Amino acid sequence: MKKIFLLLFLISLTQCSRHYEYAETVNIKNFWHKKNALNFDFEIKNPQQPKNLFFIVRNNNNYSFSNLYLFISLKQNGKILETDTLNYPLAKPTGEWLGTGTGSVKEIEFQYKKNFKFPEKGRYTLSVIQGMRKDTLEGIEDFGLIIN
Protein backbone atom coordinates (compact mmCIF):
# COMPACT_ATOMS: atom_id res chain seq x y z
CA MET A 1 0.00 0.00 0.00
CA LYS A 2 2.80 2.43 0.88
CA LYS A 3 4.53 1.69 -2.45
CA ILE A 4 1.35 2.48 -4.40
CA PHE A 5 0.90 5.76 -2.51
CA LEU A 6 4.54 6.72 -3.09
CA LEU A 7 4.25 5.91 -6.81
CA LEU A 8 1.06 7.98 -7.18
CA PHE A 9 2.71 10.85 -5.30
CA LEU A 10 5.78 10.80 -7.57
CA ILE A 11 3.61 10.69 -10.70
CA SER A 12 1.61 13.70 -9.51
CA LEU A 13 4.81 15.66 -8.87
CA THR A 14 6.17 15.02 -12.35
CA GLN A 15 2.87 15.95 -13.97
CA CYS A 16 2.63 19.23 -12.07
CA SER A 17 6.17 20.40 -12.74
CA ARG A 18 6.73 22.60 -15.77
CA HIS A 19 9.96 22.68 -17.70
CA TYR A 20 10.99 26.15 -18.77
CA GLU A 21 13.70 26.75 -21.31
CA TYR A 22 13.89 30.31 -20.00
CA ALA A 23 12.10 32.10 -17.17
CA GLU A 24 12.82 35.53 -15.72
CA THR A 25 10.78 38.00 -13.73
CA VAL A 26 11.68 41.67 -13.30
CA ASN A 27 10.61 43.46 -10.14
CA ILE A 28 9.24 46.80 -11.36
CA LYS A 29 8.67 48.03 -7.80
CA ASN A 30 5.22 49.46 -8.53
CA PHE A 31 6.41 52.13 -10.99
CA TRP A 32 6.96 51.44 -14.70
CA HIS A 33 8.00 54.45 -16.77
CA LYS A 34 7.52 54.43 -20.57
CA LYS A 35 11.23 55.03 -21.10
CA ASN A 36 12.18 51.96 -19.04
CA ALA A 37 12.25 48.97 -21.39
CA LEU A 38 12.31 45.56 -19.77
CA ASN A 39 14.94 43.50 -21.59
CA PHE A 40 14.98 39.73 -21.44
CA ASP A 41 18.19 38.18 -22.80
CA PHE A 42 18.11 34.47 -23.60
CA GLU A 43 19.73 31.85 -25.79
CA ILE A 44 17.97 29.57 -28.25
CA LYS A 45 19.89 26.33 -28.73
CA ASN A 46 17.43 24.46 -30.96
CA PRO A 47 15.56 26.82 -33.31
CA GLN A 48 13.81 23.95 -35.10
CA GLN A 49 11.85 23.09 -31.96
CA PRO A 50 8.79 25.38 -31.71
CA LYS A 51 8.61 27.49 -28.54
CA ASN A 52 5.72 28.92 -26.55
CA LEU A 53 6.27 32.37 -25.05
CA PHE A 54 4.25 33.69 -22.12
CA PHE A 55 4.18 36.90 -20.13
CA ILE A 56 3.55 36.97 -16.39
CA VAL A 57 2.07 40.14 -14.89
CA ARG A 58 1.63 40.83 -11.18
CA ASN A 59 -0.46 43.86 -10.37
CA ASN A 60 -1.99 45.34 -7.24
CA ASN A 61 -4.97 47.56 -6.45
CA ASN A 62 -2.98 50.72 -7.29
CA TYR A 63 -3.21 49.85 -10.99
CA SER A 64 -5.85 52.21 -12.37
CA PHE A 65 -6.63 50.47 -15.69
CA SER A 66 -8.39 47.27 -16.69
CA ASN A 67 -5.90 46.43 -19.45
CA LEU A 68 -2.23 46.70 -20.32
CA TYR A 69 -0.81 47.78 -23.70
CA LEU A 70 2.68 46.55 -24.52
CA PHE A 71 5.17 47.31 -27.29
CA ILE A 72 7.37 44.29 -27.97
CA SER A 73 10.61 44.02 -29.97
CA LEU A 74 12.44 40.78 -30.66
CA LYS A 75 16.10 41.40 -31.46
CA GLN A 76 19.12 39.35 -32.41
CA ASN A 77 22.58 40.95 -32.51
CA GLY A 78 20.97 44.39 -32.16
CA LYS A 79 18.81 43.88 -35.25
CA ILE A 80 15.03 44.03 -34.77
CA LEU A 81 13.47 40.87 -36.17
CA GLU A 82 9.86 41.75 -35.38
CA THR A 83 7.69 44.09 -33.35
CA ASP A 84 4.22 43.71 -31.84
CA THR A 85 1.66 45.86 -30.09
CA LEU A 86 -0.37 43.87 -27.59
CA ASN A 87 -3.37 44.59 -25.39
CA TYR A 88 -4.03 42.25 -22.47
CA PRO A 89 -7.03 42.47 -20.10
CA LEU A 90 -6.23 42.60 -16.39
CA ALA A 91 -9.79 43.01 -15.08
CA LYS A 92 -13.33 42.00 -15.91
CA PRO A 93 -15.81 44.71 -17.01
CA THR A 94 -17.07 44.69 -13.40
CA GLY A 95 -13.62 45.79 -12.22
CA GLU A 96 -12.75 42.44 -10.63
CA TRP A 97 -9.12 41.54 -11.24
CA LEU A 98 -8.33 38.56 -13.42
CA GLY A 99 -5.61 36.13 -12.38
CA THR A 100 -4.83 34.34 -9.18
CA GLY A 101 -3.58 35.35 -5.78
CA THR A 102 -4.77 36.31 -2.37
CA GLY A 103 -4.98 39.82 -1.07
CA SER A 104 -4.35 42.81 -3.29
CA VAL A 105 -1.76 41.23 -5.63
CA LYS A 106 -2.94 39.22 -8.62
CA GLU A 107 -0.82 37.23 -11.06
CA ILE A 108 -1.91 36.48 -14.59
CA GLU A 109 -0.23 34.62 -17.45
CA PHE A 110 -0.71 35.70 -21.07
CA GLN A 111 0.31 33.73 -24.11
CA TYR A 112 2.45 35.82 -26.45
CA LYS A 113 3.48 33.31 -29.13
CA LYS A 114 2.49 29.70 -29.67
CA ASN A 115 4.68 27.21 -31.58
CA PHE A 116 7.06 30.01 -32.57
CA LYS A 117 10.23 29.04 -34.42
CA PHE A 118 13.22 31.29 -33.92
CA PRO A 119 15.12 31.86 -37.18
CA GLU A 120 18.44 30.47 -35.92
CA LYS A 121 20.23 29.46 -32.77
CA GLY A 122 21.91 32.16 -30.76
CA ARG A 123 21.29 34.99 -28.30
CA TYR A 124 18.10 37.03 -28.46
CA THR A 125 16.66 40.00 -26.58
CA LEU A 126 12.95 40.55 -26.09
CA SER A 127 12.26 44.18 -25.12
CA VAL A 128 8.95 45.18 -23.51
CA ILE A 129 7.75 48.77 -23.11
CA GLN A 130 4.48 49.72 -21.48
CA GLY A 131 2.21 51.48 -23.94
CA MET A 132 -0.38 53.08 -21.69
CA ARG A 133 -1.32 56.76 -21.86
CA LYS A 134 0.44 57.54 -18.59
CA ASP A 135 4.18 58.02 -18.59
CA THR A 136 4.50 56.17 -15.30
CA LEU A 137 2.29 53.23 -14.40
CA GLU A 138 1.61 52.51 -10.76
CA GLY A 139 0.46 49.12 -9.61
CA ILE A 140 2.51 46.76 -11.76
CA GLU A 141 4.81 44.95 -9.37
CA ASP A 142 6.48 42.34 -11.56
CA PHE A 143 6.68 41.40 -15.23
CA GLY A 144 8.13 38.17 -16.52
CA LEU A 145 8.86 36.10 -19.61
CA ILE A 146 8.60 32.32 -19.83
CA ILE A 147 9.76 30.27 -22.80
CA ASN A 148 9.00 26.57 -22.99
Tens of pLDDT along 116-127? 999 999 999 999
Residue with more model confidence, 66 or 5: 66
Q: What number is the average pLDDT over the span 24-30? A: 94
pLDDT tens sequence across 1-19: 444 433 334 444 444 556 7
Phi and psi torsions of 56, nearest 5°: -115, 130
CA–CA distance from 56 to each of 3, 9, 30, 95 (Å)?
Answer: 38, 28, 15, 20
The helix (H) or strand (E) run that includes residue 82 is: strand 79-89
Query: What is the reported pLDDT for 18?
Result: 64
Strand partners, 38: 128
Q: Could you tell me the fold of the domain covering 20-147?
A: Jelly Rolls (2.60.120)
- Which has the closest alpha carbon to 90: 60, 134, 120, 53? 60
